[in-house]
Amino acid sequence: MKKYILVTALAAVAGLVAACSPAANNSYSNSNMNRGNMNSANMNAMNSNNSMNSNNSSIGNSISKLTTDSPQDFMEAAAASGMTEVEASKLALQKTQNAEIKKFAQMMVADHTKAGTELKTLAATKKMTMPADLTADKDTIDDLKAAAAADFDAAYVDAMVDGHEDTVAAFQEQADKSADAEVKAFAAKTLPTLKGHLEQIKAIQAKMP
């Protein structure tokens, strides 16, 4: 009986020593470290997903801002652009000796004056006030006024190409997606004329030396 008790006690002590041995501690520590690494990996994955979602949201917001200008913002921008194109074309009529550019400038004054009048009438029905001066685009007009005679034609044509590319894109956006039915109709009605202007001025540009 005493021998049995002694053997049992020794076995218990051996088990305790084994549990406290460095190998056991290393095993326990490694297990904890593995669990920690797994938790860290999970956290990194979550953070990565959150970052991707945040970036996607930012991209979505940026696209939304670019493609959903309010009808009022569009009308104000269209009015300012139209006035700039009329004033630039009046300068062209004074300064150019190129018959094609002169003819184009005459068309610009007529077409954009008409569109500007229609836009003001539409704005009045909505109790909106359109820009009354060229403050926003004054630099363009100042640059054309300052251009030497030899440089004017190229400066005017380049300004008309750039301006009409932006204008056509803005009118196309409103013609397709405007939340205001009347603004949408105005944009759709004016768009073919603007596209015609862009085609003609690009053709003139292609002939420039």
Q: Which of 81, 192, 65 is nearest to 130 (CA)?
A: 81
Residue 53 has pLDDT above 90, yes or no: no
Domain boundaries of the chain, sorted by first residue = 18-64, 70-207
Q: Rounded to the nearest 10 degrees, how much is the dihedral formed by the CA atoms of 47, 48, 49, 51?
A: 80
The secondary structure element, H or E, covering residue 109 is: helix 99-125
- Residue 137 has a pLDDT of 74
| 118-166 confidence digits (pLDDT tens) | 999 999 999 998 888 766 578 889 999 999 999 999 999 999 999 999 9
Q: What angle do CA 100, 102, 103 make, to 5 degrees?
A: 65
- Residue 136 has a pLDDT of 59
Cα separations (Å) of 147 from 84, 97, 141, 152?
A: 16, 14, 10, 5
Q: What is the pTM of this model?
A: 0.66
Residue 208 has which token pair? Answer: 């420039």
- Please give the average per-residue pLDDT across 2-21, as a whole number: 42
Q: What is the spatial distance between Cα 152 and Cα 146, in angstroms, rounded to a whole number?
A: 9
Confidence of residue 67 (pLDDT cuts 50, 70, 90): very low
Other C-beta atoms closer than 10 Å to the C-beta of 110 total 12
| 18-39 confidence digits (pLDDT tens) | 444 444 444 444 544 455 554 5
Tell me the range of 2-6, 13-17, 67-71, 193-197 where mean pLDDT is highest: 193-197
Q: What is the mean pLDDT of the chain?
A: 77
Other C-beta atoms closer than 10 Å to the C-beta of 104 total 22
Judge whether 163 and 84 are in contact, CB under 8 Å: yes
Q: Which long-range contacts (CB under 8 A, 24 or more apart) does 26-32 make?
A: none
Identify the CATH assignment for 70-207 out of 1.10.3720.10, 1.20.1260.10, 1.10.357.140, 3.40.50.150.
1.20.1260.10
- Please give the average per-residue pLDDT across 167-194, as a whole number: 96
- Residue 133 has a pLDDT of 76
- Please give the average per-residue pLDDT across 74-98, as a whole number: 94
Residue 45 has pLDDT above 80, yes or no: no
- Please give the average per-residue pLDDT across 55-76, as a whole number: 55
